[in-house]
Amino acid sequence: MSTARESEPTSVRFALYFPWLVDAMDVDGIRAQWASYPTVVQVPPVPSADHPDLDDILEDHPWPLGLTVFEGGASGERVLFQGDRLAIEWNAQLTDHEYPRYAAMKQLLGQRYNEFTGLLTRNGVNDIPSIAACDCLYTTHLPKNNASTVAYRIVTGGDPPVEVKMPKFSSFHRHVHWRDNNPLDIDASDQEDGTRLSIQAYLHLAESESWEDAMDDCHQQALSLFATSTGGV
């Protein structure tokens, strides 16, 4: 288990989303493609921001490939794959590797996506799904903060004045919209030894926009909010 330094993430996830592939999945081919990951776990499909209810996707199709998790990557990463997404995740609780940083994670995500689309091409799929959206999710532990203070910083952009008596609450959630009305979620919850903070920025790609540029925007938005939430620590 890696020990994340203060103000560094305890887990990160970068995801690409595309139209559902229900009938063109080659589970064995995907497993063979990523055979370097020693552990593979499958769970039921999970919804997305665009499809919070899976019934509208599945009503005319058989139940698709579930969320498949390839664990034990060379950098401590996991690959998460489902019929509508591909993601790279690093979690300090699941690996002894240090966080490989954003640039390396983004590069690895692009490599895995190219391998995935290459597999589809070899299997005769002519209509390769284009990436429609992306998101990043940062989670960290703040030992010197509490949810009340984090909430004040998020809402006002500054620390609470010493003369202000802050209301005490143990959790805080804020759902807002940012660029082109895309969702942005912030969650803070108090733990025994500090506060758990999660920031998720989701973005539909604009016309002709690359997923790399869109992911950079998500990343920068999350970092900016993280700095605000922690008082710039």
- Convert 185-220 to b/e letters by CB count within 10 Å (16 or more is b): bbbbbbeeeebbbbbbbbbbbeeeeebeebbbbbbe
Are β-strands 183-191 and 194-204 bridged in parallel, bridged antiparallel, or unpaired? antiparallel
Query: Is the pLDDT confidence value at 25 over 80?
Result: no
Residue 187 has pLDDT above 90, yes or no: yes
> Each residue of 54-102: pLDDT tens digit?
666 556 555 556 789 999 999 999 999 988 899 999 999 989 999 999 9
Which range is least confidently modeled, 25-34, 71-80, 163-172, 182-191? 163-172
The position carrying tokens 């058989």 is 62
Question: Taking 50 as the threshold, does the pLDDT of residue 11 lie above it?
Answer: yes
What pLDDT is attached to residue 4? 46
Q: How confident is the model at residue 109 (pLDDT cuts 50, 70, 90)?
A: very high
Does the pLDDT at position 161 exceed 70? yes
Determine the residue type at 192: E
Residue 128: count of CB within 10 angstroms of its CB:
13
Look at residue 183 in the predicted model and tell me its pLDDT: 93
Q: Is the pLDDT of residue 223 over 50?
A: yes
Residue 170 has what pLDDT? 87
| Strands laid side by side in the 77-82 sheet | 39-43, 67-71, 77-82, 85-91, 9-17, 133-142, 194-204, 183-191, 171-177
| Rounded distance between C-alpha atoms, residue 218 and residue 133, angstroms | 11
- Spatial CA neighbour of 11 closest among 79, 80, 92: 92
Residue 39: pLDDT band with limits 50, 70, 90: very high
Place of tokens 């490939």: 65
Work out the percent of the chain whose per-residue pLDDT is above 90: 48
DSSP state of 5: P
Dihedral sign for Cα 190, 196, 197, 202, please.
negative
Q: For the chain, where are the alpha helices, taking DSSP H only?
A: 27-33, 55-58, 102-122, 147-156, 211-229
Give the residue among 114, 42, 111, 124 at the shortest CA–CA distance from 83: 42
Confidence check: pLDDT of 216 > 90: yes
Helix (H) or strand (E) holding 83: none
Asked whether residue 145 carries a pLDDT value surpassing 60, the answer given is: yes
Which of 197, 157, 189, 155 lies closest to 172 in space, CA to CA?
Answer: 189
Kindly state the average pLDDT of the residues 111-117.
Answer: 93
Q: CB neighbours of 121 closer than 8 A, spacing ≥ 6?
A: 128
pLDDT band, very low/low/confident/very high, at 178 (cuts 50, 70, 90): very high
How much is the pLDDT for 86? 94
Within a 10 A sphere around the Cβ of 145, how many other Cβ atoms?
A: 19
Cβ(146)–Cβ(219) below 8 Å: no
